[in-house]
Amino acid sequence: MYSEPIGKVIPIEQENRNPVNANNKFSRVIAGTMNWGGWGAKFTSQEYLTMVEKCLEYNVTTFDHADIYGHYTVEEEFGAAVEGRSSLRNKIQLISKCGIKLVTPNRPEHQIKYYDTSRAHIIQSVETSLKNLRTSYLDLLLIHRPDPLMDPLEIAEAFSVLKSEGKVLNFGVSNFNASQAGMLHKVFPILVNQVEISIIKLNCFTDGTLDHCINENIIPMAWSPLGGGKFFEEEDDRNKRIIALTQWLSEKYKVSPEQILLAWLVKHPSGIKPVLGTAKHERIRLAMEATFIDLTREEWFMLWRASTGKEVP
């Protein structure tokens, strides 16, 4: 059942139950901002601020950005919303990502979508993010996608410059497999690998990605941790199995099916931190509560079987 009562306020300093990640300061659930602006809810400045304040009420203190979100607009909108609230900066952690160049009217010089993990681009992207977010530092910078042309030594050089200047406190990657993350980690320590993990996206459990995180004390952050809600919309055999089982478990634990699926993720010993892409603060609250649901090992494997459609070997 629950390891703590649902609805209990979670002390920030106690929210990490996994000893591997006990010393990091990112909240157990992370608020993803991708859908807050032009790609989704189109928040007003007041709605941005309200969302941040509500997240803090639930002890969700970490906000996940990328330079490209909203076609390069969300960071600036977020920064404008919190400008003048200097006390907020000491209460929150800001993540940003760089390395993708989009074709958009906001970047007319881009002729195609491509990747750029050069030293110059990484440093310039951070300078732009700092300006847009109205902050002097990022708590975490991620390389957004593995780049076929990436040079780990050049990336490490950019990270070293940003670290020495106090502009970025921690570094990581996103969507990297174990080999790619290991290549960079060998020359510069990375703290995070943000990858897609959900009940319908299981490859990180079996391809070595989460094993590498455990071995190297790297924090796995899971984007799209509910599979984009696809299994609640698309009626194939796998989704029907997942829905039936999550509904049964949600009745047992008296929570929502979505909370069951988040509890399934955070049970993994790597200390997965879900990145919630919602623009509704009530779902952030429910996600934080889900981290207290302690599924049994048997129930965990029931969900695994529902997704794969077969018993484990």
Domains of the chain: 12-237+257-296 (3.20.20.100)
pTM, to two decimals: 0.92
pLDDT of amino acid 25: 82
Low-confidence residues of the chain: pLDDT under 70: 1-24, 231
- To the query of whether residue 253 is one of the catalytic residues in this protein, the response is no
pLDDT digits (tens, 9 = 90+) for 165-196: 999 999 999 999 999 999 999 999 999 999 99
Residue type, 36: W
pLDDT of amino acid 228: 84
Give the C-alpha separation, 147 to 116, whole Å.
7
Give the C-alpha separation, 259 to 136, whole Å.
36
Q: Which of 48, 69, 72, 253 is catalytic?
A: 69
pLDDT of amino acid 24: 65
Beta bridge partners of 194: 174, 221
What is residue 129's three-state secondary structure? Answer: helix
pLDDT of amino acid 301: 98
Burial of 19 (0-12, 13-18, 19+ CB in 10 A): exposed
Give the C-alpha separation, 181 to 185, whole Å.
6
pLDDT of amino acid 18: 39
What is residue 207's three-state secondary structure? Answer: coil
pLDDT digits (tens, 9 = 90+) for 157-167: 999 999 999 99
pLDDT of amino acid 9: 36
pLDDT of amino acid 19: 35
Give the C-alpha separation, 37 to 43, whole Å.
5
| Residue located via tokens 């490859």 | 203
**What number of helices (H) and strands (E) belong to the chain?**
13, 10
pLDDT of amino acid 98: 98
